[in-house]
Amino acid sequence: MIVNKFPDRTITIEDKEYLYFGGTAYLGLATHNEFQKVLFQSIKKWGTFYGSSRSSNIKLSIYNQFESLFAEQVGAEASLTVSSGTLAGRLVIDFLSKSISSFFHYPKTHPAILAQHSMPLFIDGKLHPRLLDKKKEEIVITVDAILALEVKPTSFNFLDKISQYKKITVVIDESHSLGLIGKQGEGVFNRLQHKSIKRKIMISSLGKALGLSGGIIAGDYEFINALKEEAIFVSSSAANPAYLETYINTQSIYKEQQQKLRYNLGYLTTHLESNMGIKFHKDYPVIYCEDDAIYDELFKEEIVITNFKYPTYKKLMSRVVITSNHTKKDLEKLIQLIKKYDK
């Protein structure tokens, strides 16, 4: 379907309006009037885009301001912005590959953080044998904080079983948890604590819940400073400075939208039963259904959801997304149809 306007809680398709429960604008910021006003003012100050290198002799102060605030919020020593979440992932993986040869990936991890010769973390439901031997080595484990088709943060209990001879670097993709998980939307990075972890690194798109253009990397000072010297970073255009200032100046709007989303999720939780043929959690704004037919059934009732072939899944992904901007009436219709569909 090709549409001519960014969808909010509704979407117009061939001159007909539907309720829209799709996309990734979880906090509804892309169409938020006050958020847009702040962004427009930031564009007037910083321009529509900054195509220069961060290593140029002229440096914009907004980058350090944003990166310091972000690092503090997620509980990291430092952070670094880039032009996209995918670039953030590739920059980190390519850098780590220079000194570490053994990479393992959690099932269905996003392609942006998959090393070329990465091995599966599990084989037939058990940890890869390489993770259990006594060979002393540095390894990298890549994982999504919340996997596609999941509604709760990934469990890291598997770390308890990995051999003590392994020095572990964990790379976490927080694209679908940042802004949503945690009391302040800080994600899972700071809560991940384990004696076997030598280093942990967050990468994320800023274009999901946060509604910004760009990507982010967070970690320790040494690692972030080393990335700043990488050729791909030095030669790349920077993240859009106008969006970064908008983030700083709209913290109250983020809090308001997070509160609205929590209210919507609370309302859904009281009306959807856990034994229904759906996957839903009270703290996450996505409902999954493994039956592909749900897309057509909801479309007949003038509701559009996300439905496409995701790279790491065999079937189509049917994804019902709740945002801060959905009204109680919107939710009531969705609940009614899901209950009807489940019978």
Alpha carbons within 13 angstroms on the beta-carbon side of residue 5 total: 13
Say which amino acid occupies 266. G
Q: Dihedral of CA 313/185/238/201: which sign?
A: negative
Of 338, 343, 342, the closest CA to residue 301 belongs to 338
pLDDT tens-place string over residues 253-301: 999 999 999 999 999 999 987 555 688 999 999 998 877 788 999 999 9
How large is the average pLDDT for residues 317-338?
A: 94
Q: What is the structure's pLDDT at 274?
A: 58
Whether 168 shows a pLDDT value over 70: the answer reads yes
Q: Are residues 136 and 196 in the same domain?
A: yes
Q: Which residues pair with residue 306 across a beta bridge? A: 319
Beginning with the edge strand found earlier in the chain, give each strand of the sheet holding 119-120 in spatial order: 78-82, 215-219, 197-205, 166-173, 137-144, 102-105, 119-120
Q: What is the structure's pLDDT at 275?
A: 55
Whether 197 shows a pLDDT value over 90: the answer reads yes
- Rounded to whole angstroms, how far apart are CA atoms 49 and 43? 8
Give the domain CATH number at 100: 3.40.640.10
Q: Which residues pair with residue 318 across a beta bridge? A: 289, 307
Q: Are residues 220 and 298 in the same domain?
A: no
Do the domain assignments include residue 45? no
- Rounded to whole angstroms, how far apart are CA atoms 304 and 115? 35
8 A C-beta contact, residue 246 and residue 229: no
Q: What is the structure's pLDDT at 342?
A: 63
Do the domain assignments include residue 188? yes
Mean pLDDT (the chain, rounded): 94
Of 315, 321, 10, the closest CA to residue 176 belongs to 321
How large is the average pLDDT for residues 28-36?
A: 98
8 A C-beta contact, residue 307 and residue 319: yes
User: Quick one: what percent of the chain has pLDDT higher than 70?
Assistant: 96
Do the domain assignments include residue 3? no
Q: Are residues 130 and 15 in the same domain?
A: no
Q: What is the structure's pLDDT at 310?
A: 65
Of 53, 49, 71, 28, the closest CA to residue 243 belongs to 49
Q: CB atoms < 10 A from the CB of 65, how many?
A: 15
Q: Are residues 218 and 154 in the same domain?
A: yes
Do the domain assignments include residue 114? yes
How large is the average pLDDT for residues 142-160?
A: 93
Q: What is the structure's pLDDT at 216?
A: 98
3-state helix, strand, coil in the chain (%, to 5): 35, 20, 45
Q: What is the structure's pLDDT at 291?
A: 77
Do the domain assignments include residue 44? no
pLDDT tens-place string over residues 118-129: 999 999 999 999
Q: What is the structure's pLDDT at 290?
A: 75
Decide which of 239, 270, 285 is a domain's last residue. 239
Q: Are residues 14 and 150 in the same domain?
A: no
Do the domain assignments include residue 94? yes
Q: Are residues 198 and 330 in the same domain?
A: no
Q: Are residues 105 and 188 in the same domain?
A: yes
Whether 343 shows a pLDDT value over 60: the answer reads no
pLDDT band per the 50, 70, 90 thresholds, residue 205: very high
The secondary structure of residue 145, as a DSSP letter, is: S
Q: What is the structure's pLDDT at 293?
A: 84
Do the domain assignments include residue 89? yes
Q: Are residues 181 and 330 in the same domain?
A: no
Of 86, 48, 100, 90, the closest CA to residue 175 belongs to 86
Q: Which residue range forms the structural domain that includes residue 152?
A: 50-239
Phi and psi at residue 46, in whole multiples of 5°? -110, -5
The residue with tokens 């930031």 is 42
Decide which of 239, 262, 294 is a domain's last residue. 239
8 A C-beta contact, residue 323 and residue 25: yes
- Rounded to whole angstroms, how far apart are CA atoms 98 and 133? 23
Q: What is the structure's pLDDT at 10?
A: 97
Q: Are residues 77 and 225 in the same domain?
A: yes
Give the domain CATH number at 25: 3.90.1150.10
Q: Are residues 234 and 272 in the same domain?
A: no
| Number of structural domains the chain divides into | 2
Do the domain assignments include residue 42? no
How large is the average pLDDT for residues 106-113?
A: 92
- Rounded to whole angstroms, how far apart are CA atoms 249 and 243? 10
Q: 3-class DSSP state for residue 70? A: helix
Tokens of 211: 């509604």
Q: Which of 181-190, 289-298, 305-314 has the highest mean pLDDT?
A: 181-190
The secondary structure of residue 214, as a DSSP letter, is: S
Tokens of 131: 């993770």
Q: Which residues of 88-109 are buried (b: 16+ CB within 10 A; e: fewer)?
A: bbbbbbebbeeeeebbbbbeeb
- Rounded to whole angstroms, how far apart are CA atoms 250 and 247? 5
Say which amino acid occupies 158. F
